[in-house]
Structures are given as structure tokens and as C-alpha cells.
Structure 1
Amino acid sequence: MTTEPRSVRIERVAAGRYVAHNERGATIAFGGEDFSPVELLLAAIGGCTAIDTDIATSRRTEPTSFTVTVSGDKVSDRESGNRMENLSVTFAVRFPDGEQGDAARAMLPRTVALSHDKLCTVSRTVELGTPVRTVIE
């Protein structure tokens, strides 16, 4: 087993508005009219498997369309707290006709399953239920 530390830094930019920064200098705004934290979680779940799948299938041919939809139900529960349930990741991927498109289509189910079952750190973490520790400096 190997570990690779990862982190983001989140800054408040206005009431209810934040910007996350990664170590490579990229940013993403959230809160207010931007993405909500739950939408970012859904994007991370779908994005992780989308990247794995796109890298593998695009070696055969470029998709003609590639859309991933992630959905779930936000549950507000006084006893056990707020959470998401019924998470679902739906791939709508199309490849051109021909031998290369056929090869990409054939590997799509296996690639999505491999990402979900082994490679995608985000969905694997959610499914395994890793504890989150909070610290106040």
C-alpha cells in the first residue's frame, strides 16, 4: 500500500461564497449561485470514473459524445444527519461506426466497472465510508 497526500485550500470570498485552490494553482468557485458542496461531491464521483473511462476508451477512438450524469437523493434526517442516498452514475457514451468504435464500445462496460471497483478514489472512499476528522487551529 502506498499513500500520496492530497489537499485543497478553501477561502471565503464573500458571504456564502468560497473558492477551492489545489496545489497546481487551479481554482473552483462554490456556494451561492455556483456549485453547492453536494454538487461538487456528485461531480467528483462521476468525474473520477469518467476520466478513467475516457483515457482507456479514447486510445481506441475519440467518442462522438461523452456525458456522465450523477444523481442521488439528499436526505435530511434529525437522528442520523444529512446525507446522500441512492447515488447513481449514468454513462451516455457514443463512438463512431467502424472497427475502432466497436473496440471502444466493447471495452466500455469493463472499463467503467474497473474504475468503480478498483481505480476511482472518490467513489471507493464514499462506498468504504472513510471517517472525516475535523480540526480547529
Structure 2
Amino acid sequence: MATNSRGARVAIGSGDEEGVFTPVELLLAAVGGCNIVTVEPLTAKRGHRLLRLAMTVESEKVEPNLLGPVTVTYDVEVPSEQADEVFRAVAERVHDKYCTVSRSLQEGTVVRLALP
């Protein structure tokens, strides 16, 4: 179980149990969540409300303990062609520059081990 300072909880497990996320699923959900919570308000701030915004985030293991490329696929419904242009520009900018999770993966953030 992971718990944050605000009291939210997420059940984590190996994937054999019902109602839990695997660590890899959480990583992919973090990529998607980071993108969505950044894209939606930035698109709205530019005057375009999206009618639907969802996404699929996928990756496959290329080795037993290593993921291959992560693919983010948006499922979006926009009210106009202009809104589509704004959404696409914002989504690309968020992917390249503003999503902390995606950028950290792309840049290869160092993970340190601190044993007691």
C-alpha cells in the first residue's frame, strides 16, 4: 500500500491479486495522469474546452526487468478544428517540456538506493 501525505492510498501488488496495481501499471498511470492534468487546463486556458479527454499508455518489457518505449495515445473529442490545433500544440509541448514524469523517464533520472 502506498500512502501520500494527504492520506490517499493505492494498493500495490504483484498483479496476482484483485484490486491492486503493479508497479509498472502505476508508472504508466503516472505518465498518463501527468499528461492529462497538464494538457486539459492549458488547453482550456487557451479558450478551448475538450469534449472528451482520455488516453492509453502502453509499454512492453524488452527484458524481464526493463521496459521498452512508452507510447501515449490520446482519445480526444474537440469542438472545432481550431480546438484540435490548440490541443495538438499543447499536448506536444506538455510531452516535450512540462510533464515531470515523462521528462524524467526520457532523461533517465537516476534512482539511488539508501539502505539503513
TM-score higher than 0.5? yes
Q: What amino acid sits opposite 2:71 in the alignment?
A: S
Instruction: Work out whether 1:48 is the aligned partner of 2:34.
Output: yes
| Rg larger in structure | 1
Work out the CA distance in 2 between the residues paired with 1:123 and 1:84: 14
- Alignment of 1:90 with 2:77, yes or no, is no
Asked if 1:113 corresponds to 2:92, the answer is: yes
Worse-matched range after superposition: 58-67 or 45-54: 58-67
Give the letter aligned to residue 76 of structure 1: E
Q: Percent identity?
A: 39
Task: Report which of the two has the higher share of helix.
Answer: 2
Which residue pairs with 1:29 in the alignment? Answer: 11
Unmatched runs of 5 consecutive residues or more in structure 2: none
Per-residue deviation, 1:75: 2.4
Q: Return 5+ residue gaps in structure 1 as ranges.
A: 1-18
Give the C-alpha shift of residue 61 in structure 1: 4.3
SS at match of 2:29: helix
Q: Return the alpha-carbon distance in structure 1 between the equivalents of residues 115 and 96 of structure 2.
A: 34
CA 1:61/1:107 → structure 2, altered by over 3 Å: closer, same or farther?
A: closer
Larger displacement relative to structure 2 (118-127 or 102-111) = 102-111
Please give the secondary structure, in 2, of the residue aligned with 1:58: helix
Q: How many residues align?
A: 111
Q: Does 1:131 align with 2:96?
A: no
TM-score (norm 1): 0.73
Asked whether 1:65 is paired with 2:52, we answer: yes
RMSD (CA atoms): 1.6
TM-score w.r.t. the length of structure 2 is 0.85
Name 1:16's counterpart in structure 2.
none
Runs of 4 or more consecutive aligned structure 1 residues displaced over 3 Å after TM superposition: none
- Give the Cα separation in 1 of the matches to 2:69 and 2:38: 22
